[in-house]
Structure 1
Amino acid sequence: MKKIYWFIISFIIAVSSGSVFSYEAIVGPTGVLKYVSERSYGGYTLFAPMMNSKTTYLIDMEGSLVHKWESEYTPGSYAMLLPNGNLLRGGVMEKRAAAIGGAGGIVQEIDWDGRVVWEYKMNSAREIQHHCFDRMPNGNTLILGWEAKSIDEAIAKGRDPKTIPLEVHDMGQYHNEFWMDFVREVDKNGKIIWEWHVWDHIGTGPHQLDINYVLPEKLGPNYAGFDWSHFNVVEYIPEMDMVLLNSRNLSEFYLVDHKTGRIVYRWGNPSAYGQGKKPSWYDNGDQKVFGSHGVSYIGKDRFMIFDNGSERAEGNRSAIVIVDRKTNQVVWEYHPITSQSFYSFRQGYVQMLPNGNIHVTSTNSGHLFEVTEDKKVVWDYVSPVFGKELKCYAEDGDMPNMMNNMIHRSYRYGADFPGLKNRDLSKKIPLTECPEFYRIYKTDK
Structure 2
Amino acid sequence: MNLKSGTFKAGSTLKLIATADQGYAFDSWTGDASGTDPEYSLILNQDSEVTATFRAIDNNPEISDNIVLINEDLIDTSGYVFAIENGGKRCFLMDRYGQLKHEWNFDLSLGQDAELTANGNLIGLFRGENSPVSFGGQSGILREIEPDGTVIWEYTIANDNEIAHHDFTQLPNGNLLVLVWYRVSNADAKAVGLNNDGDVFMEKVVEINKENNNVVWEWKSWDHIVQDFNASLPNFGVPEANKNKINIGYANTNVHEFVAQGDLIHFNGIAYYPEQDIIALSANFYSEVWFIDHSTTSVEAATEEGGQFNKGGSLLYRFGNQKVYGDNNATSTLNFNHHPSFIKKGNELSLLIYNNNNREEQSRAMEFSLPELDGTNLDLPPTLIFDFTHPDLFYGRVSGAVRLPNGNTLICEGDYGYWEVTPNLEVVWKYEGFNQLYWRGLYYTGDSAEIVNLESRI
Do these two structures clear the TM 0.5 threshold for a shared fold by scoring above it? yes
1:361 aligns with 2:392: no
Question: Could you say if the C-alpha distance between residues 63 and 215 of structure 1 is closer, same or farther in structure 2, counting changes exceeding 3 Å?
Answer: farther
* One-letter identity of the residue aligned with 1:199: W
Q: CA deviation at 1:426?
A: 12
For 1:107 and 1:61, the matched residues in 2 are separated by 29
What's 2:179 paired with? 144
Partner residue in 2 for 1:415: 446
Pick from 296, 303, 321: which aligns with 2:351?
303
Change (3 A) 1:367 1:206: same
Q: Does 1:46 align with 2:100?
A: no
Q: Which residue of 2 aligns with 1:110?
A: 145
- Which 4+ runs in 1 deviate beyond 6 A? none
Q: 226, 229, 233: which is aligned to 2:265?
A: 229
Please list, as runs of the form range in 1=range in 2, the aligned pairs for 1:320-335 lying within 5 A after superposition: 320-326=365-371, 328-335=382-389
Contact kept? 2:270, 2:339, Cα under 8 Å = no
1:180-199 alpha-carbon deviations (Å, 9 max, x no partner): 11100010121011000111
Structure ID, larger Rg: 2
Residues 106-129 of structure 1: per-residue CA shift (max 9 Å, x gap): 111112222222222101000000
- 1:305 maps to amino acid: I
Q: Which blocks of at least 5 consecutive residues in structure 1 are unaligned? A: 1-28, 167-175, 280-284, 384-393, 395-403, 428-445
- Aligned equivalents of 2:256 and 2:97: distance in 1? 41
Go from structure 1 to structure 2 and tell me whether the alpha carbon gap of 1:223 and 1:100 turns closer, same or farther (over 3 Å shift): closer
Displacement of 1:82 in angstroms is 1.7
Shift of 1:225: 4.8
- SS of equivalent residue, structure 2 residue 73: coil
Q: CA deviation at 1:70?
A: 2.2
3-state SS of the aligned residue for 2:450? helix
- CA offset at residue 220 of structure 1? 3.9
User: Structure 1 pair 272/309, CA: closer, same or farther in 2 (3 Å)?
Assistant: same
**Is the Cα–Cα contact under 8 Å of residues 290 and 308 in structure 1 kept in the other structure?**
yes
> What one-letter code is carried by the residue in structure 1 that aligns with 2:418?
L
Q: Does 1:194 align with 2:212?
A: no
1:285-304 equivalent positions in 2, closer than 5 A: 285-299=330-344, 300-304=348-352
Partner of 2:393: 342
RMSD: 2.1
How far is the alpha carbon of 1:81 from its aligned partner?
1.3
Which residue does the alignment assign to 1:211? 248
- Alignment gaps of 5+ in structure 2: 1-63, 227-238, 297-311, 372-380
Could you tell me the TM-score, scaled by structure 2's length? 0.73
Identity of aligned residues (%): 30
SS of residue matched to 2:250: coil
Query: What CA distance in whole angstroms lies between the structure 2 residues aligned with 1:160 and 1:146?
Result: 17
Instruction: Give runs of aligned pairs for residues 70-89 of structure 1, distance below 5 A.
Output: 70-89=105-124
Count of aligned positions: 351
- Aligned equivalents of 1:91, 1:196: Cα separation in 2: 22
1:270 matches 2:335: no
Say if 2:190 is the partner of 1:159. no
Greater RCO between the two (CA within 8 Å, min separation 6)?
A: 1
Letter in 2 for 1:418: A
Contact 1:366 1:406 in 2 (8 A): yes
Alpha-carbon spacing, 1:106–1:30, altered in 2? closer, same or farther (3 Å): farther
CA distance in 2, matches of 1:215, 1:150: 16
Cα deviation, residue 215, structure 1:
7.3
What are the superposed Cα offsets for residues 1-60 of structure 1, whole Å, 9 maximum, x if unpaired?
xxxxxxxxxxxxxxxxxxxxxxxxxxxx96111121221112211123225x31221111
